[in-house]
Every structure is written in structure tokens, then in C-alpha cells.
């Protein structure tokens, strides 16, 4: 009877521990990869300056078990450093031969009266209208 009880105990422990471990592994790191401050030549007539940040997020499990990497998001808001409140957009990068961080740092950000444009080194372009991040958003 003991071997069956031990097997049941192992199965029960595994079924409880597996989701806990998976949720801990999948937590967003929120590590700031790169950041660009609002240009001083642009005035949005609201509290500022604003920052466009690229932040590391949760784990992308699609390549498991061969290739695991982190997801990223682009954030525009008032905070410099860890984002807390602002406009977020999930964004995937296409680094080519560089590692993702080096690739992200090659990106260009252009601030204008109508919003902010993020230009990835691969040629992808993302425009975020000022209405999405100004006025307490």
C-alpha cells in the first residue's frame, strides 16, 4: 500500500508545484532595455517630459524547448525607469544578426506635435498619437 501512497503523493505534489513554478517563471521582468526622452522642441501642453521606453516582459514559450526568449513592450508615459502608468503596446523585434538588446538600441525615436514615432532598425515603424499618452493616460 505504501508504494501507491507515495506515487499519489508525488502526483499531488507535482500538480500543485508545476503551476506555481510556471507562474513564477512567466512573471514579467519589467527590465528597461532602452529609453528616449521627449524632445525639448516639442510641447504637448501637458505635464512632461514624456519618455518612450522599450521594456522586457514575460517569457515567450512558443519556441520551447529549443528557443526561449522574452517578449517586449513599448511604453510611452511620464515615468523614467520602470513604467507604472501610461500607454503600452506589445512589440516584437526582428534583430537579424544582432542580439535583441543591441538591435533595440539601434532604433530611432522621433517626437512631433502629433505624437511619437518608433523606428526599428529592421525598418518597422510604429506611430503613437499624442492623444494616447497625454492628459493623464
Helices (H), the chain: 2-25, 100-105
Query: What is the helix (H) or strand (E) element at residue 55, kind and residue range?
Result: strand 51-60
Three-state DSSP state, 91: strand
Q: What is the percent of the chain where pLDDT is above 70?
A: 82
What is the per-residue pLDDT for 80? Answer: 75
The C-alpha atoms of residue 69 and residue 91 are separated, in whole angstroms, by 13
Q: Which three cell numbers stand for residue 109?
A: 525615436
The pLDDT of residue 66 is: 84
**Which of 60-69, 98-107, 111-120: highest mean pLDDT?**
111-120
Q: For 117-128, b where at least 16 C-beta lie within 10 A, e where not — what string?
A: ebebbeeeeeeb
Which residues have CB under 8 Å from 127's CB, separation 6+? Answer: 115, 116, 117, 118
Looking from the CA of 19 toward its CB, the CA atoms found within 13 Å total 3
Query: 34-80, pLDDT tens digit by residue?
Result: 999 999 999 998 888 999 999 999 887 877 888 788 899 999 999 87
**pLDDT over 90, % of the chain:** 49
Amino acid at each position: 500500500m505504501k508504494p501507491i501512497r507515495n506515487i499519489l503523493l508525488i502526483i499531488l505534489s507535482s500538480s500543485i508545484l508545476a503551476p506555481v513554478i510556471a507562474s513564477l517563471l512567466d512573471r514579467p521582468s519589467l527590465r528597461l532595455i532602452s529609453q528616449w526622452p521627449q524632445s525639448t522642441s516639442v510641447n504637448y501642453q501637458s505635464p512632461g517630459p514624456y519618455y518612450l521606453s522599450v521594456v522586457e516582459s514575460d517569457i515567450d514559450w512558443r519556441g520551447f524547448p529549443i528557443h526561449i526568449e522574452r517578449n517586449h513592450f513599448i511604453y510611452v508615459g511620464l515615468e523614467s525607469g520602470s513604467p507604472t502608468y501610461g500607454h503600452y503596446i506589445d512589440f516584437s523585434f526582428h534583430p537579424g544578426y544582432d542580439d535583441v538588446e543591441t538591435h533595440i538600441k539601434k532604433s530611432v525615436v522621433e517626437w512631433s506635435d502629433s505624437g511619437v514615432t518608433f523606428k526599428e532598425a529592421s525598418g518597422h515603424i510604429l506611430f503613437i498619437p499624442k492623444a494616447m499618452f497625454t492628459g493623464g493616460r
